[in-house]
Amino acid sequence: MKISAFDIRPGNILEHEKGLWRVLKTDFVKPGKGGAFVQIEMKNIETGTKSNTRFRSGESIEKAVVEPRTMQYLYADATGYVFMDNENFEQLILSADLLEGQTGYLLPNTEIQINLHNDRPIGVELPPVVVLEVSEADPAIKGQTATGSYKAARMETGITVMVPQFVNNGEKIRVNTVDGSYIDRA
């Protein structure tokens, strides 16, 4: 399926130069002289190399046909991260490389969307918000509640999130999976 260069968004999977590329950033540029173009930062799914590519405004690019499948995260072991297909109950093991930076938001029994291209996993889409329990946080400093200051807190999955002073150990909070920021108490 071909799409216009203007319709490319971060997260799209494109077929470009005989490979699959994940779009990381897009930037529309309209110079004072000449035609408009879209500057796209992409990462090759197979090799992991990054590329900055310009597409003219009239160009169209082949968007990869991706089959989204809902799976349930079960557990992690030495071989990788184990997911179960909700339809046929088959198990799928994904490497940490494929999950790149998303493992801190995975909790057992969480529903995750895994994108497949020709029955091969190429990416994972997390829910926009996850609920995590604070396992380690510094105690609140008395008198600093009015300034809106933040402190580092370690979650049950091992990631560190900046939280307000009033959040304590054992509390559950909602975390944005896009940028890893604190949203509110759960």
pLDDT tens by residue, 49-69: 999 999 998 899 998 888 899
What integer pLDDT is reported at residue 39 of this predicted model? 92
pLDDT value for 170:
93
Structure tokens that stand for 7 in this block: 């319709």
For the chain, which domains are there? 2-62 (2.30.30.30), 67-125 (2.40.50.140), 129-185 (2.40.50.140)
Coil, helix or strand at residue 133: strand
Structure tokens at 1: 């399926």
Q: 122: which residues sit within 8 A by CB, 6+ positions away?
A: 13, 20, 22, 45, 66, 98, 115, 116
Indicate whether 75 pLDDT > 70: yes
List of residues 6+ apart from 129 with CB closer than 8 A: 174, 175, 176, 177, 183
pLDDT value of residue 57: 81
Q: Model-level pTM?
A: 0.70
Q: Are the CB atoms for 66 and 3 separated by under 8 Å?
A: no
Task: From residue 62, give the alpha-carbon distance in Å to each of 2, 43, 46, 121.
Answer: 4, 16, 17, 19
